[in-house]
């Protein structure tokens, strides 16, 4: 707005210069000069107010950044980016992308899945359980008898000792009978947690959709407003140029010129406001869709 106000002051100076020139040539009047002077004073007041608003915005920015205003950091000018005529994606596509990308939705979905898994674990506690185990063994031993005498035709036996291998397989079934209602309480708690998580996910989705739709509507409205403001600036500029030329040539009035100058300033301010509104709406949409770090 400060730039628009400076341009408005320059336009008011042009009208004042034309009024003085007409007065010197004897075709102007003191009333016209007074009107042009008043118009110039109003334009100067608008510039002072715009500079004050710019200083307030600078102070708010450095305060938000945690920087001392006394350091007077330089703030880069906002680059002039061309705005698209409309959003390329539909609302449904934007909402679908937001649901798949937003961290709060992902966290709510993960919590719901975890609570559903707890229900399955609690239900499994009511089911019989089968177990299977196996074991092997090896035993060795000896005696104090080193030999047995021969009996009949059988030869003598020496170095008496013994060893053997063994093994076993065990199959069992455990059936829960009574635990004082502990498993039922655990299952009920798991179901309650799952229901709460599901309701939270639903609320989060609904809130995300509301935010995305509201931000998308704001972007569309601001883009349309900017297009209308640009057309208004072009028309107001043409009207001002024509009114100033007519006044210089003696076929127009100073009133028409000052009115055209005021309307041109208002149109420029409307264009600036609509452009800033479009950028703010685009940032809000990027935040609502979870693309704040990648939005251009």
Interval 45-94: pLDDT, tens? 888 888 888 777 777 877 777 877 777 777 777 667 777 665 555 556 66
| Per-residue model confidence (pLDDT) at position 161 | 58
Q: Mean of the per-residue pLDDT values for the chain?
A: 76
| Per-residue model confidence (pLDDT) at position 83 | 72
Residue 78, domain member (yes or no): yes
| Per-residue model confidence (pLDDT) at position 152 | 57
Determine contact, residues 62/257, Cβ cutoff 8 Å.
no
Distance CA 4, CA 2 (A): 5
pLDDT digits (tens, 9 = 90+) for 141-164: 555 555 556 565 666 555 555 566
58: domain CATH number? 1.20.1600.10
| Per-residue model confidence (pLDDT) at position 175 | 72
| Per-residue model confidence (pLDDT) at position 106 | 66
Look at the chain and report how many structural domains it folds into. Answer: 1
Residue 211, domain member (yes or no): yes
Residue 18, domain member (yes or no): yes
pLDDT at position 9 over 70: yes
Residue 111, domain member (yes or no): no
Residue 131, domain member (yes or no): no
At a CB cut-off of 8 Å and minimum separation 6, what does 153 contact? none
Residue 257, domain member (yes or no): yes
Domain of residue 51: give its range. Answer: 2-106+200-289
Higher-scoring residue by pLDDT: 236, 285: 236
Higher-scoring residue by pLDDT: 295, 269: 269
Among the residue ranges 4-8, 38-42, 118-122, 237-241, the one predicted with the least confidence is 118-122
Residue 24, domain member (yes or no): yes
pLDDT digits (tens, 9 = 90+) for 184-230: 788 788 888 888 878 777 777 777 777 777 877 888 888 888 888 88
Looking at residues 12-34, what average pLDDT do you find? 81
Residue 12, domain member (yes or no): yes
Q: How confident is the model at residue 139 (pLDDT cuts 50, 70, 90)?
A: low
- DSSP track, 78-132: PP-PPPPSS-SS-HHHHHHHHHHH-HHHHHHHHHHHHHHHHHHHHHHTTS-EEEE
| Number of Cβ atoms within 10 Å of the Cβ of 217 | 13
pTM of model > 0.75: no
| Per-residue model confidence (pLDDT) at position 295 | 47
């Amino acid at each position: 707005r400060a730039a628009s106000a400076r341009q408005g002051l320059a336009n008011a100076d042009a009208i004042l210069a034309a009024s003085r020139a007409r007065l010197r040539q004897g075709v102007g009047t003191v009333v016209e000069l007074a009107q042009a002077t008043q118009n110039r004073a109003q334009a100067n007041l608008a510039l002072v107010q715009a500079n004050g608003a710019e200083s307030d915005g600078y102070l708010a920015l450095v305060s938000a950044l945690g920087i001392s205003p006394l350091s007077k950091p330089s703030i880069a000018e906002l680059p002039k980016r061309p705005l698209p005529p409309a959003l390329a994606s539909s609302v449904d596509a934007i909402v679908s992308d937001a649901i798949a990308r937003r961290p709060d939705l992902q966290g709510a979905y993960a919590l719901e899945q975890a609570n559903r898994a707890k229900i399955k674990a609690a239900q499994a506690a009511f089911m019989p359980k089968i177990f299977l185990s196996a074991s092997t063994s090896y035993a060795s031993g000896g005696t104090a008898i080193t030999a047995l005498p021969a009996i009949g035709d059988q030869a003598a036996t020496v170095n008496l000792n013994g060893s053997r291998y063994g093994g076993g397989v065990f199959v069992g079934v455990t059936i829960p009978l009574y635990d004082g209602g502990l498993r039922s309480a655990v299952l009920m708690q798991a179901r309650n947690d799952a229901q709460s998580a599901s309701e939270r996910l639903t609320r989060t989705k609904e809130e995300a959709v509301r935010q995305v739709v509201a931000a998308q509507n704001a972007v569309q409205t601001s883009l349309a407003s900017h297009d209308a403001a640009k057309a208004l600036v072009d028309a107001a500029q043409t009207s001002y140029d024509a009114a100033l030329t007519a006044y210089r040539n003696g076929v127009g009035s100073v009133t028409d010129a000052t009115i055209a100058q005021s309307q041109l300033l208002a149109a420029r301010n409307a264009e600036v406001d609509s452009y800033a509104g479009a950028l703010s709406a685009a940032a809000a949409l990027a935040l609502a869709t979870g693309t704040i770090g990648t939005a251009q």
